[in-house]
Structure 1
């Protein structure tokens, strides 16, 4: 299957990962076009696997009502299958504008070895951010958006329920506030080491602190949402970052939810909060997300590496909900990982 809109003028064959049917994927040839004016040709170095969203795609759990809203910026194909899906690619510009040739750039592109896209759709990776760490940019952008929605203040006691990549990045950013005390809550005790590396506290759900000034929920589970509500102090906001796909989730709004005047706030990276839309563009937000990745401690979130050609064999395990995986780094070279 050829990429949508691709013509054969000055093309070279590249390869891309396609989700072909439920729990199956394969690598297919595509064409990497020579760039027109205003475009660049990028050779992929690394990409990142988003376990949450790509897991839903892989399992066929994207509800039909969300098939259009869930489209990745450079997705090919249509839900449910086959789709070329992904949004965390880092590569080197091979051709295009002379000011970009040779630069390392981040783009919201699927897993593909080489690709052409508009110049404005790629963001140069700043000095101090390694190409490997830059694959976290889309997740950091989600975390930044959640911080905007939650509006934490210096000195706050903050809980983040769910120690996946997005939850840990949200906790990390919140932890940069002067005087803040941030605790990551997760059912996996192995997340304690990662949290402590990032300068954060850690607790299992049964030991979660209460009376928190702000709570973020990122576990994508009903049990996690219940824990988040329990952690919240009176009048506190619980920022719901999880997306459950087609799954229905019970929300415990009985008992003391109303008398404690708790607030359940949705957060979604697809839109910038209303109060910032007059000043912040998506590109400005992405540039800030990349800048926030300068800390080498964030390398601890990259727990697995896999060669691009091995993805069809490895993804079933890497996207398994029971797998102890944070960020999987996809490597676009010929050496096995």
Structure 2
């Protein structure tokens, strides 16, 4: 059958094109109701700042090829199963499901790649599942301990979800660092004890000569220059978790000050894989179940600020690119 798919066709250019979809005997056909636009990876692609030779995502069967133009991309779609293949159980028909699928009106997919939307989670809330799963992975990698001071740089959607997950821990203090006032207020709403502008952080961390710096720092702003500030906020024997992906933008870090003497650890975190030290007891399925539990508990609906018809999708990317005050999670809606 015919469908409409969103393509990134060049820097700052998108187009909706007619494509076709075929359903195999062991697949279902999903009609999309809503999809979420990522202000991280998708915005890098939109701006032409993603490494074109990099595979789009080797862990998702719904996304193939590399990041060169033109490409279909996206990983947060929710819709209804409207048809099933001959080898699929009849119970799948009519279910509302989530899939890591690009922005398009219909898609075929194997049932094992779907997550059924729980009855107590709305369709729009479910679109934020990838962000909450990323936050869950970031917290697993950061290993927060009781009584620790934790600083999160960046209160975008992933940063706010991470703050929400961290707020359930018995930390000493949870500090959000964000230049946009409205996002600082959202960080407090989701559980941050303190939310400050970047130039106010030093005053917050100064707790005496024997207790300077944070125990755990997250860099989630998406800006390479913020990595310096994250390392600077870390205390002795602390750790910095870099969850931002900068694409092809270089990150120059000043390691000539207290970095070596303070034995600061800088680690990467990425949701596509599980960290080696967690694989003994954690699986992707267990992490997904944990993320669903967090999704139920967090007020993720408050992060949705704009709903734009799929036919007007280029407006969504322009809106995110301009970083207008008040813009957080943008949804594409399908008639």
Task: Normalising by structure 1, report the TM-score.
Answer: 0.89
Q: Using the alignment, how far apart are the partners of 1:310 and 1:245 within structure 2?
A: 26
How far is 1:230 from its partner? Answer: 2.2
How far is 1:323 from its partner? Answer: 6.1
1:195-241 CA-to-partner distances (Å, cap 9, x unmatched) read 12212231111111322221111112233222212221211101011
Q: Corresponding residue for 1:226? A: 228
Q: Corresponding residue for 1:33? A: 22
SS of the residue corresponding to residue 141 of structure 2 reads helix
1:77-103 CA-to-partner distances (Å, cap 9, x unmatched) read 543111010001111122233232222
How far is 1:282 from its partner? Answer: 2.5
Q: Corresponding residue for 1:24? A: 13
Q: Which structure 2 residues correspond to residues 1-337 of structure 1 after superposition, within 5 A?
A: 12-37=1-26, 39-67=27-55, 73-75=61-63, 78-96=66-84, 97-200=89-192, 201-208=194-201, 209-210=204-205, 211-295=213-297, 297-321=299-323, 324-333=326-335
Q: Corresponding residue for 1:3? A: none
1:30-63 CA-to-partner distances (Å, cap 9, x unmatched) read 22334512x1111111110001100111122111
Q: Using the alignment, how far apart are the partners of 2:59 and 2:126 within structure 1?
A: 22
SS of the residue corresponding to residue 84 of structure 1 reads coil
Q: Structure 2: 5+ residue runs without aligned partners?
A: 206-212
Task: Tell me, yes or no, if the aligned pair for 2:76 and 2:102 is still in contact at 8 Å.
Answer: yes
Q: Using the alignment, how far apart are the partners of 2:150 and 2:14 within structure 1?
A: 39
Task: Tell me, yes or no, if the aligned pair for 1:35 and 1:41 is still in contact at 8 Å.
Answer: no
Task: Tell me, yes or no, if the aligned pair for 1:74 and 1:110 is still in contact at 8 Å.
Answer: yes
- Range that drifts further, 262-271 or 97-106: 97-106
Q: Using the alignment, how far apart are the partners of 2:63 and 2:34 within structure 1?
A: 18
Task: Tell me, yes or no, if the aligned pair for 1:123 and 1:287 is still in contact at 8 Å.
Answer: no
Q: How many residues get paired?
A: 321
Q: Structure 1: 5+ residue runs without aligned partners?
A: 1-11
Task: Tell me, yes or no, if the aligned pair for 1:77 and 1:84 is still in contact at 8 Å.
Answer: no
What RMSD over aligned residues (CA atoms) do the two structures have, in Å? 2.0
